[in-house]
A and B are shown apart, each in its own frame.
Chain A
Amino acid sequence: MGGSIVAIGMGLAVIGAGIGIGQVGSKAMEAIARQPEAVGDIRSNMILMAALVEGAALIAIVMAFLVR
Chain B
Amino acid sequence: MSTSFKLISTFIATVVLSLSAFAHDHNHDQGQDHHNYNEKADAAAHVDDLISHEDDHLSCDLADNHGHEEFDPGNTAFHHIGDANVYSIGPWQFPLPCILYNTKSGLDLFLSNKFGFDFMGHGDGHYAYKGYVLDAGTIRLVQDPNFPKEKTEIKGIVHDSLDRAYVCLGDQMYPTYNKSTADFGVFGGGITPFFDFSITKNVFAMILVVLFLSWVMIGAAKAYKKRQGLAPKGTQSFIEVIFAFIQDEVAKPFLGKHYMKYLPFLMALFFFILGLNLFGQIPFFGGANVTGNLAVTMVLAILAFFVTNLSGNKHYWGHIFAMPGVPKPVLTILTPVEFLGVFIKPITLMLRLFANITAGHMVVIIFVSLIFMFSNNGTSYIGGYGTAIVSTALTLFMMAIELLVAFIQAFVFTILTASYIGAAIEEPHH
Chain A positions within 8 Å of B, measured between CB atoms, are 4-5, 8, 11-12, 15, 19, 40, 44, 47-48, 51-52, 54-55, 58-59, 61-62, 65-66
Grouping DSSP codes into helix (H, G, I), strand (E, B) and loop, the B interface class, with mixed when no group exceeds half, is helix
Count B-side interface residues using an 8 Å CB cutoff: 27
* A19–B348 touching, CB < 8 Å: no
Per the bound structure, the CA–CA distance linking A58 and B409 in Å amounts to 14
Query: How near does chain A come to B20, taking the closest CB pair, in angstroms?
Result: 11
Chain B positions within 8 Å of A, measured between CB atoms, are 7, 10-11, 14-15, 18, 21-22, 25-26, 29, 186-187, 249-250, 344, 347-348, 351-352, 355, 408, 411-412, 415-416, 419
Grouping DSSP codes into helix (H, G, I), strand (E, B) and loop, the A interface class, with mixed when no group exceeds half, is helix
* A55–B18 touching, CB < 8 Å: no
Task: Find chain A residues with CB under 8 A from B29 CB.
Answer: 4
Task: Find chain A residues with CB under 8 A from B419 CB.
Answer: 48
Query: How near does chain A come to B31, taking the closest CB pair, in angstroms?
Result: 13
Query: Known contacts A15-B14, A44-B249, A62-B186: does B21 contact A8 (CB below 8 Å)?
Result: yes
* A47–B415 touching, CB < 8 Å: yes
Per the bound structure, the CA–CA distance linking A68 and B7 in Å amounts to 30
* B25–A11 touching, CB < 8 Å: no
* B25–A58 touching, CB < 8 Å: no
* A58–B14 touching, CB < 8 Å: no
* B348–A5 touching, CB < 8 Å: no
Task: Find chain B residues with CB under 8 A from A8 CB.
Answer: 18, 21-22
Closest 8 CB pairs of A and B: A55-B348, A4-B25, A58-B351, A51-B412, A8-B18, A58-B355, A44-B249, A62-B351
Task: Find chain B residues with CB under 8 A from A44 CB.
Answer: 249-250, 415
**Contact check: which of B10, B250, B352, B412 meets A19 at CB < 8 Å?**
B10
Per the bound structure, the CA–CA distance linking A61 and B415 in Å amounts to 23
Per the bound structure, the CA–CA distance linking A34 and B416 in Å amounts to 27
Query: Known contacts A19-B10, A44-B249: does B348 contact A59 (CB below 8 Å)?
Result: yes
Query: How near does chain B come to A29, taking the closest CB pair, in angstroms?
Result: 14
Task: Find chain B residues with CB under 8 A from A15 CB.
Answer: 14
Known: A19-B10, A62-B186; 13 extra A-B contacts, CB below 8 A, are A4-B26, A8-B21, A8-B22, A40-B249, A47-B411, A48-B412, A48-B419, A51-B352, A58-B348, A58-B351, A58-B352, A59-B348, A59-B351
Query: How near does chain A come to B406, taking the closest CB pair, in angstroms?
Result: 14
Task: Find chain A residues with CB under 8 A from B10 CB.
Answer: 19
Per the bound structure, the CA–CA distance linking A30 and B348 in Å amounts to 28
Query: How near does chain A come to B4, taking the closest CB pair, in angstroms?
Result: 11
Per the bound structure, the CA–CA distance linking A33 and B411 in Å amounts to 24
